[in-house]
Amino acid sequence: MWSNGRNPRVFLKTLSHFQYLNYRTEPWRRTMMIHKHWFCCKPDSSTRTRPRPPWRLMFFGTDQFAVESLRRLTDSRNSSEGLVETLDVVTIHGDVPVRRFAEQNQLRVHSWPPDVAEGQFDVGVVVSFGHLLRQRLINMFPYGILNVHPSLLPRWRGPAPVFHTILSGDKVTGVTIIQIRAHKFDVGPILNQDLYLVPEDSTAEELGASLSIRGGHLLMDTLRTLPEKITKRREQGQAGATFGTWFWTRSD
């Protein structure tokens, strides 16, 4: 029945022991013991790490920049590409671009914070979300959570990287795919990066639109060979690191 070389009599004796304990303990302890015993002796295929696509994916985002990456994922899920199997969306309450797009395309939408079960997804993707994700949530994804960031990290970590690129007169920017870390924004290891020359006289809105498209392409490229990209990831380091700040407007 199981290919673990166990004596069937020993297994049945062990099972009977757990069943006995099951009725003598509190409900939460019973659940824990049955859960532990089941995955110890017969792993559920849904909890094993997939070595290749298609991926079960959860997307975190809010604004228009994030929509382009979500659009690419949705198109892939609806095609025969074999890259995305399932796609759920996490966003904030209110009439934000990501929620509108998800509802228009009949994607399952979760409010923040989501309730994620272990083994439910393979990888997460976060784009322009604005919330630090806790380590406990990140651990629910075997391949972690990827971030599409519109700058050549470690330059312009933090909020509003496109605005800082324009205001600083940068001639070169790009898009970076990283694995996120729980303790701080934009410091995780780099999986993929794409350089982009800033057009002369470009506005932040125009540059953001261009980078959102490139970010969507780079995300799909990363997902196609995700295990390999993770194996070859590189830490950012501190050389050339800059951190942007929020822009505030005053209303008198």
Place of tokens 């690191």: 241
- Rounded Cα–Cα distance for residues 125 and 144 (Å): 9
Query: pLDDT digits over 103-147, tens only?
Result: 999 999 999 999 999 899 999 999 999 899 999 999 999 999 999
Asked if 122 and 90 count as a contact pair (C-beta separation under 8 A), the reply is: no
d(CA 133, CA 58): 13
Q: What is the dihedral of CA 156, 162, 167, 173, to 10 degrees?
A: 70
- Contact partners, residue 15, CB within 8 Å, separation at least 6: 37
H/E element holding 98?
A: helix 97-104
Q: What CATH architecture applies to the domain 55-231? A: 3-Layer(aba) Sandwich (3.40)
Location of structure tokens 């659940």: 31
Give the model's pLDDT for residue 33. 39
Point out the least confidently predicted range of 8-22, 64-78, 229-243. 8-22
Q: Are 200 and 149 in contact (CB under 8 A)?
A: no
DSSP letter (8 states) at residue 134 = P
Q: Rounded to whole angstroms, what are the CA distances from 16 to 6, 21, 37, 41, 60?
A: 15, 9, 12, 14, 44
Q: How confident is the model at residue 246 (pLDDT cuts 50, 70, 90)?
A: low
Residue 204 DSSP SS3: helix
Banded pLDDT at 238 (limits 50, 70, 90) = confident
Q: How confident is the model at residue 183 (pLDDT cuts 50, 70, 90)?
A: confident
Domain ranges across the chain: 8-42, 55-231
For 236-247, letters b (16+ CB in 10 Å) and e give beeeeeebbeee
Contact (CB, 8 A) for 192 and 222: yes
* Exposed/middle/buried for residue 11 (C-beta within 10 Å: 0-12, 13-18, 19+): middle
Lowest mean pLDDT among 28-37, 103-112, 147-156, 218-227: 28-37
User: By percentage, how much of the chain surpasses pLDDT 70?
Assistant: 79
**Rounded Cα gap, residues 48 and 147, in angstroms:** 23
- Per the model's pLDDT, the better-predicted residue between 71 and 20 turns out to be 71
- Do residues 2 and 42 lie in contact, with contact meaning Cβ atoms separated by under 8 Å? yes
- State yes or no: pLDDT of 5 exceeds 90: no
Please give the order of strands across the beta sheet that includes 55-61: 108-111, 84-91, 55-61, 123-127, 145-149, 172-179, 190-197
Give dist(CA 100, CA 86) in Å, integer: 19
Q: How far apart are CA 155 and CA 189, in angstroms?
A: 14
